[in-house]
Amino acid sequence: MKDDRELIKFDFAVKYLLREKSDYGLLSGFLTELMGRDVVVTGLLGEETNADKHDEKINRVDLKAKIDDGEFVVFEIQFHQESDFFGKVLYGVSKALTEQVKRGAKRYFMRKVYSINVVYGNRVNAKREYLFHGNFSGFKGVHFEDEPVIPFAQIPNKDAKEHVEIHPEYYIILPDMFDETLRGKFDEWIYVLKKNEVLDEFTAAGMDEARVKLNILNLPKDKLAEYEHYLEAQRSVDSATDAAREDGIEIGEAIGFEKGIAENTRKFVQNLHNMGLSTDNIAKAAEISETEVKNILNS
């Protein structure tokens, strides 16, 4: 059954609301279900957020969280995938890695970084999948198949005995591709990302917090006004993006049509020439000038 309480959009909550320690349970639940492990968010690094004006970078949200054993999670939420999307993903991960190394450090003990990317729309050309996971499994031998894989791992400190994988992992979540069939607990979160609503039967980790903290009725008046402004700005971005896309399609179709006519004319002229017709007769048959006929035959 659908909960009758409208939820605040998750991106707005991450960007402007979920800043107190008491809010970490919601993000912890989200990551627990996504990563399939018991995750506890221990802090947010506010300097990494894009809490700028609503009319600037409205379609992007960046946030970095520190989780239970010192690892880092980098959130990237986009409403329309930008052409340099993967470059920005890599940049965010690289920054999270390099910031772990203190200036003048002689050793590079790194904590693992997870890149969580929520992308509205489908510019990645997925066929029907809505959740992608990517990681580097290790170095494989080129010449000998029986050579064991070398893991991208290190001993985190001098007292540790076990190697720990440190290569970043990446998640891409496409809410708009979700068919609303619940195949696992995290699908409940994807439903929330897509529909901004919680069903009564949802029991995923963090969902109870979502019911309360994302309830639009719990927003104070100043935040409600801010939220309405945010939605209006987002609608403007959506409208501008759709208009640009439609213009691009129309221009592309027009160019394609013109190219098709030109190609047909070229073939027609060439065939008439092969049949032995004179330039002036070809020009009359193709309804073009003799100069254009000569240009086609000489190209």
Task: Note the pLDDT tens digit of each residue in 237-266.
Answer: 566 555 555 555 555 555 555 555 577 777
The predicted structure's pLDDT at residue 54: 41
| 135 contacts 93 by C-beta, under 8 angstroms | no
Judgement on whether residues 203 and 282 belong to the same structural domain of the protein:
no
pLDDT of residue 160: 61
Does residue 188 lie in a domain region? yes
- Residue 128 and residue 24 share a domain: yes
Evaluate whether residue 228 is within a structural domain. Answer: no
In a domain, 1, yes or no: no
Assigned domain for 229 exists: no
| Claim to verify: residue 184 and residue 270 sit in the same structural domain | no
Q: Which residue has the tokens 């002229």?
A: 269
Q: Single out the residue in 219, 251, 279 at which a domain terminates.
A: 219
Cα dihedral 209/34/234/80 (nearest 10):
180
- On whether both 214 and 250 belong to a single domain, the answer is no
Q: How far apart are the first and last CA of the chain?
A: 68
Same domain, 59 and 199: yes
Strand boundaries in the chain, DSSP class E? 41-44, 60-67, 72-78, 113-119, 131-135, 153-154, 164-165, 169-173
Instruction: Say whether both 141 and 270 belong to one domain.
Output: no
Residue at 224 is within a domain: no
What pTM value is reported for the model? Answer: 0.70
Q: At what angle do helices 221-274 and 290-298 cross, to 10 degrees?
A: 90
pLDDT at 58: 44
- H or E stretch covering 270: helix 221-274
What pLDDT, on the 0 to 100 scale, is given for residue 56? Answer: 40
Residue 227 lies in a domain: no
159 in the same domain as 53:
yes
Task: Let me know whether 138 and 200 are in one domain.
Answer: yes
**The pLDDT value given to residue 53:** 44
- Residue 19 and residue 165 in one domain: yes
pLDDT below 50 — which residues of the chain?
1, 47-59
DSSP notation for 98-165? HTTSPTT-SS-----EEEEEEESS-TT--SS--EEEEE---B--SS-TTSPPB-SEE-SSTT--S-EE
- Per DSSP bridges, beta strands 72-78 and 164-165 are unpaired
Amino acid letter, residue 70: G
Q: How many residues does the chain have?
A: 299
| The predicted structure's pLDDT at residue 42 | 81
Q: How far apart are alpha carbons 190 and 196 in whole angstroms?
A: 10
Q: Does residue 233 form part of some domain?
A: no
Domain count, the chain: 2
Which domain, by its residues, includes 282? 241-298
Q: Give CA torsion, residues 65, 233, 9, 174, to 10 deg.
A: -80
Q: How many CB atoms lie within 10 A of CB 58?
A: 21
Instruction: Judge contact between 206 and 185, C-beta under 8 A.
Output: no
